[in-house]
Structure 1
Amino acid sequence: MASYDDKRNFYRMMLNTEVVVTIIDDEVNTQVTATCRDLSATGMALEMEHPLDIATCVRVKVDSASNQVQALDASGRVVRVEEESKDCYLIGITIEEID
């Protein structure tokens, strides 16, 4: 039987880079840093110190390591939250829009 990863429609790039996450809220948009573990055309996995609620809207800015490649500025929402250890949560984001 094929594993879940084998059924993906898009290749997942392993990044392990710091990103800025803006948590979109009706009252205030809070910015936090996180580590982007991996990225695909439709989503990303972020490592954070605090969990986010499912369906929370976020904007994620991934800076480029090269001037030849444009930084990624994507909007999406939380679709998965897993506690990996104390103060370490893996947050699954589905990308809804790329600017």
Structure 2
Amino acid sequence: MDIMGRAKTCESNTLDTYKLYRANMVDNQRLIGEFLRAKREQIAPAMVGLPQPKRSRTRGLRREDVAELSGISTVWYSKIERGQAAGISSSVVCPESGFTA
């Protein structure tokens, strides 16, 4: 195989590896989001010392409540839960963040 053939093979392998990495990363983000949503829905506001809203369309805590308890913005938490945020720090998803369930 000549040098150009080897370069194309290397480029193809690198691209395939990158695509696999991206697919796994997106899948992991989706799984984190599903987990956080499930936990949020299982926790009543009273369990974390918040008043029960008079009207709520969601079960459990609202995204705003979780964001406040975790010390992050509602926009950032929403992105995490929708699987659209890369680079999530462990302080956001770990119990040490202040949101324990």
- The answer, yes or no, to whether TM exceeds 0.5 is no
What TM bracket, shorter-length normalisation? Answer: under 0.3
Q: Which has the higher contact order (CA 8 A, sep 6+)?
A: 2
> Higher helix fraction: Structure 1 or Structure 2?
2
What is the TM-score of this pair, normalised by structure 2?
A: 0.26
- Bigger Cα Rg: 2
